[in-house]
Structures are given as structure tokens and as C-alpha cells.
């Protein structure tokens, strides 16, 4: 046996005997080298699969073809399909589940990088609310073509729609319901950079959905103050984050919280010690100012409490809840929950170079987004009709809310007759987001259970 100690027993020491410890070192080095090579190849393969190989595309030709489609589309009258889809008929405000798509405007970087807009929208309501995605494809014979996939939703919002427009067509009609004990839950779904945070929280120039909702709740409170003599419900704000199975209080220095189940059927699940701040409702300006300050504080603790502040928000779900409470018992009456979901691109495995933490995060996000889809689908399919169903409603149907912490926490919002769910699927217009956008549209379509897809043609 060749002695290696005392000379150089590190990698790279060449010793002929395979049985010797040095031989093992050599084998390890070779294995490592092969592994690195394999990883490199897989990474290249993944990149090739993931991105559209736009270097081969004539951008002008692509743009012209998409433009021709758009022109055609503007002239077409979409006929009402001869099918009846549960939940889509009737008064919009009675829709238990509403699934909408929002396309964000193309930005400077995308324009500069020839990352062209491949989305054509047809706004309006179903079945005329459609979105078409023009997927650049390379055929087996290496010729290039565009495949257009078309999807129908309850609403499709184009890049010109403001948060106020979105508010008016999706949730404005549901605000009053929370005064009767109803619960409304709104999810923003989509890949990172598709506009989820812009939709819910807004930007310095444009107030988000939460702002419009809070404002209308406050106005309704002021109205009931003049209409009734009884005590007014009080408005409370909670803001927390879900990172895997962990819950963090964003209004209390990101303290870790626990989810508890109580035997009380009226309040079966609650987060212990979750901060709930009363918001003044009589003076609108004062109430909104307090709300904004609290949310800003929450955002600050969200980013400073984590190690990688920049990408943290794409790896966790942020939940903002506006709850109306009985002023004497402080028991929750109705509730509005807004959820800025983790980036959906995280739900796909990023290949062999992914670190263990990232793999864990991806699997947690995947689990929660799948379970969210299953819960909404179950809700929709078990839509109660008639007296028996009404009696059963809230307890009789099986909603798989235990599938993830996200759905477990929101259990009470999924149950009960007066509850409403709205999903806004956010999509980026760029060609290089094609795969993510297709995944988002398919996910959103399946949530409603009718597939979403209208047709797909070359
Ligand atoms: P996400 O939360 O999905 O990662 P963001 O909401 O942060 O995405 O949006 C990414 C960027 O695009 C932000 O700079 C945001 O201001 C901008 N943006 C998104 N949607 C819109 C929109 N509808 N109108 C204008 N800017 C938008
Ligand atoms: Mg965001």
C-alpha cells in the first residue's frame, strides 16, 4: 500500500494502485469530473428546452404574423359556444368562483431585447373573453412556425386595464357581502414579474386592489353608521407570510406563528397570536393612511427578515386580510383575503444544479399551488344546489384543504355558502415567458374545471 500521508493526499495526486487510498482519491476526482460534465450537458439541454431559440427567428416575420392574427381577431365575432358551463351562467356577482387573466404591459427591457409580445387578448366577459398565445415552434424538419393556443375565461384584462378597472369587474360587487358574514378570497397567480404584487398592492403611481376594497368597506361602514342605530362592525387588518409550512406575522417583526384547530365549529381554525390591527373607518383619509403605513411596515419586515431579500417575495405567499368584527365580542363576521402567491415558475424543478434549499422551496410551492387548485376545483364541482345540499353546505363536502398550509390556513374562506373565490392569473407578454405563460393559462383553466382551452391551431 502506497503511503500518501505526509506527501499530498489531496485531489490530483496520481497513484497507480486502485486499491490504495490515493486510488480512491483519484476515482473520486474522476467521478466528480464526470458529474460536473453531466450537469453541464443537462443544464445546456434545459436551457435549450426552456427558452425559445429566438436567434433563429426573423423577429419582423414573427411580428407580422401575430399582427395579421390580431387584425383577423378584431374582425371576428365570437359565437357563444353551444355548451353550458356551470358557474359561468347567470349574474356575475353570483359566481362562486371567478377566474380571470391579466396581461401586463410590455416593458422597456423586453422591447430592447426583441422579447416580443406574443399575447392577443379579447377583453369582455365569457365566452368573448379570450386570450391567444402565439408560441414560436421549430418543427421536426427544422422549419419554423407559430402555434396559437386560445383560452377562454370569465374575464380577460389587457395591458390597458388599470387596477381600478379590475376592481370594478371582479370584486367590487362582492364587498357588500362581507357585511352579511361572507368571505371573499382573491388570489394573484403567475410567474415572478407577471404583475401579481402590482395587482394586489399597487405601485407608487397606482393603488392596488386592496386600496379599492378597503375604501369601499369604509364607505359602507360610514353609510351604515347613518342608516342604523346598532353598533358598527369594526375593521381589522392582518398581514402574514407563508413560507413552506411556516407562518410569519408581517405586522409583528416577522414573528413565527402557529396554526391551531379549535373544537368550536364556528371558528375551527385560527392562527394563534396573529396581529390584528383596528383600522379607523369613520374618517376615510385617516383609515387609508393607517392601512398604507401598516402594509409598508409589513413589506419592510418581509424583506429584512430573510437572508436573500430580493427574491424572497417570489418564494413565499403573502396574505392580507381585512376582517369585519363584532365590536363587543370581537368575533370575526365577514372577511376579505388577498393572496399574493409565490412565483409559479418555482413550482417546476430547475434541474440538477438546484440547491437543496431551492429544491425544498420548489416542492413546497408546487404542493401548495396544486392543493390550491384542487380545493377550488372541489368547491366548484360540489356547488350546492337544493335543500339537501344547502343543509350539507359547509360540512358535508370534502374539500382537501389539508393538502398544504396555504389551503389549511384559508379553510374557513373555502367553506360556507356565502363565500366567493376570485383568481387573477397574471401573465407577462414576452416571447421568452411563453412556457411559463402557457403553464399559467392551463393552471387557471383547470381551476375552473373546464380546461380553459378553446382551441389550439398552427
Ligand atoms: P410579480 O409580483 O408577479 O413578481 P410585479 O407586480 O412586481 O410582479 O410586476 C413586475 C413589474 O412590472 C413591476 O415593475 C410592476 O410595476 C410592473 N407591472 C406589472 N403589472 C403592471 C401593469 N398592469 N401596469 C404597469 N406596470 C406593471
Ligand atoms: Mg411580487
Q: Is the peptide bond before 158 cis (omega within 30 degrees of 0)?
A: no
Q: Which residues line ligand 1 (CB under 6 A)?
A: 104-105, 190, 192-198, 203, 314, 426
Reading the block at residue 223, the C-alpha cell is 353609510
How far apart are the CA of 300 and the centre of ligand 1, in A?
18
Are the CB atoms for 355 and 59 separated by under 8 Å? no
Q: Which cell goes with 290?
A: 393607517
Q: How far apart are CA 416 and CA 394, in angstroms?
A: 4
Residue 122: pLDDT band (50, 70, 90) is confident
Q: Which atom of ligand 1 is nearest the CA belonging to 426?
A: 3
Q: Which residue has the higher pLDDT, 236 or 225?
A: 236
Longest dimension (CA), the chain: 96
Separation between Cα atoms, residue 210 and residue 187, nearest integer Å: 12
Distance from C-alpha of 81 to C-alpha of 86, rounded to nearest angstrom: 13
Cβ atoms of residues 417 and 407 within 8 Å: no
What average pLDDT does range 17-45 have in this prediction?
76
CA distance 314 to 142: 36
Residue 216 confidence (pLDDT) above 80:
yes
370: its cell numbers? 396544486
- Average pLDDT on 235-245 reads 95
Residue 187 predicted with pLDDT over 60 = yes
Residue closest via CA to ligand 1's atom 17 equals 195
Average pLDDT, the chain: 80
pLDDT score for 17: 40
Query: What gap in Å lies between CA 436 and CA 454, rounded to an integer?
Result: 19
Burial classification of residue 3, based on how many CB atoms lie within 10 Å of its CB (0-12 exposed, 13-18 middle, 19 or more buried): exposed
Q: Which ligand 1 atom is nearest residue 203's CA?
A: 16
Length of the chain: 458
Please count the other Cβ atoms lying within 10 Å of the Cβ belonging to residue 438. 15
- Per the model's pLDDT, the better-predicted residue between 221 and 246 turns out to be 246
pLDDT value of position 2: 35
User: Is pLDDT at 100 greater than 80 in this prediction?
Assistant: yes
* pLDDT, position 143: 76
Higher pLDDT, 358 or 392: 358
Ligand 1 nearest-atom number relative to CA 161 = 23
pLDDT of 13: 30
Question: Are 424 and 166 in contact, with CB atoms under 8 Å apart?
Answer: yes
Q: What is the ipTM of this complex?
A: 0.99
24-31 long-range CB contacts below 8 Å, 24 or more apart? none
pLDDT band at 6 (very low <50, low <70, confident <90, very high): very low
CB atoms within 10 A of CB 93: 13
Q: Which of 154, 169, 236 is nearest to 199 (CA)?
A: 169
Q: Name the residue with higher pLDDT: 396 or 319.
A: 319
Annotated binding-site positions for ATP: 190-197
* pLDDT of 327: 83
Instruction: Tell me the per-residue pLDDT of 374-395, one tens digit each, with 9 for 90 and over.
Output: 998 888 776 544 333 344 444 4
Q: Count the Cβ atoms, other than its own, within 10 Å of residue 398.
A: 7
Give the model's confidence band at 94: pLDDT under 50 very low, under 70 low, under 90 confident, else very high.
low
Say if residues 333 and 187 touch (Cβ distance below 8 Å).
no
Cα separation values, 105 from 117, 130, 189, Å: 9, 17, 17
This prediction has a pTM of: 0.81
Q: Give the Cα separation of 153 and 98 in Å (integer).
A: 8
Residue 21: per-residue pLDDT: 54
Is residue 113 pLDDT above 80, yes or no?
yes
Amino acid at each position: 500500500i502506497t503511503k500518501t500521508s505526509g506527501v499530498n493526499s489531496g485531489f490530483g495526486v496520481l497513484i497507480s494502485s486502485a486499491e490504495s487510498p490515493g486510488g480512491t482519491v483519484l476515482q473520486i476526482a474522476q467521478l466528480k469530473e464526470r458529474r460536473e460534465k453531466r450537469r453541464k450537458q443537462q443544464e445546456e439541454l434545459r436551457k435549450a428546452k426552456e427558452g425559445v431559440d429566438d436567434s433563429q427567428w426573423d423577429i419582423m416575420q414573427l411580428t407580422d404574423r401575430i399582427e395579421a392574427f390580431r387584425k383577423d381577431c378584431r374582425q371576428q365575432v365570437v359565437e357563444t359556444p353551444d355548451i353550458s358551463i356551470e358557474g359561468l351562467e347567470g349574474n356575475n356577482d353570483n359566481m362562486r368562483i371567478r377566474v380571470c387573466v391579466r396581461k401586463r404591459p410590455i416593458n422597456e427591457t423586453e422591447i430592447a431585447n426583441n422579447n416580443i409580445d406574443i399575447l392577443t387578448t379579447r377583453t369582455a366577459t365569457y365566452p368573448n373573453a379570450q386570450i391567444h398565445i402565439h408560441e414560436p415552434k421549430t418543427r421536426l424538419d427544422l422549419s419554423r412556425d407559430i402555434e396559437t393556443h386560445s383560452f377562454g375565461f370569465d374575464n380577460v384584462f389587457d395591458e390597458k386595464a388599470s387596477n381600478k378597472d379590475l376592481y370594478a369587474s371582479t370584486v367590487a360587487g362582492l364587498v357588500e357581502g362581507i357585511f352579511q358574514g361572507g368571505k371573499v378570497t382573491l388570489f394573484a397567480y403567475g410567474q415572478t414579474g407577471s404583475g401579481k404584487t402590482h395587482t394586489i398592492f399597487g405601485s407608487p403611481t397606482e393603488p392596488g386592489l386592496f386600496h379599492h376594497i378597503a375604501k369601499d368597506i369604509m364607505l359602507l361602514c360610514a353609510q351604515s353608521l347613518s342608516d342604523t342605530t346598532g353598533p358598527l362592525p369594526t375593521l381589522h387588518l392582518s398581514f402574514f407570510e407563508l413560507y413552506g409550512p411556516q407562518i410569519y406575522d408581517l405586522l409583528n417583526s416577522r414573528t413565527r406563528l402557529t396554526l391551531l384547530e379549535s373544537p368550536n365549529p364556528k371558528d375551527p381554525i385560527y392562527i394563534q397570536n396573529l396581529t390584528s390591527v383596528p383600522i379607523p373607518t369613520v374618517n376615510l383619509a385617516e383609515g387609508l393612511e393607517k392601512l398604507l403605513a401598516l402594509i409598508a411596515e409589513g413589506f419592510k419586515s418581509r424583506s429584512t427578515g430573510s437572508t436573500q431579500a430580493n427574491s424572497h417575495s417570489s418564494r413565499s405567499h403573502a396574505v392580507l386580510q381585512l376582517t369585519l368584527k363584532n365590536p363587543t365580542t370581537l368575533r370575526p363576521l365577514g372577511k376579505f383575503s388577498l393572496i399574493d402567491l409565490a412565483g409559479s415558475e418555482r413550482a417546476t424543478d430547475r434541474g440538477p444544479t438546484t440547491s437543496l434549499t431551492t429544491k425544498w422551496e420548489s416542492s413546497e410551492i408546487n404542493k401548495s399551488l396544486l392543493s390550491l387548485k384542487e380545493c377550488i376545483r372541489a368547491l366548484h364541482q360540489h356547488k350546492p344546489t337544493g335543500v339537501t345540499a344547502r343543509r350539507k353546505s359547509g360540512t358535508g363536502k370534502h374539500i382537501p384543504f389539508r393538502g398544504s398550509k396555504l389551503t389549511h390556513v384559508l379553510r374557513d374562506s373555502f367553506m360556507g355558502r356565502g363565500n366567493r373565490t376570485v383568481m387573477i392569473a397574471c401573465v407577462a407578454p414576452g416571447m421568452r415567458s411563453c412556457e411559463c405563460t402557457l403553464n399559467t393559462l392551463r393552471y387557471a383553466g383547470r381551476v375552473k374545471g373546464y380546461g380553459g382551452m378553446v382551441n389550439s391551431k398552427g
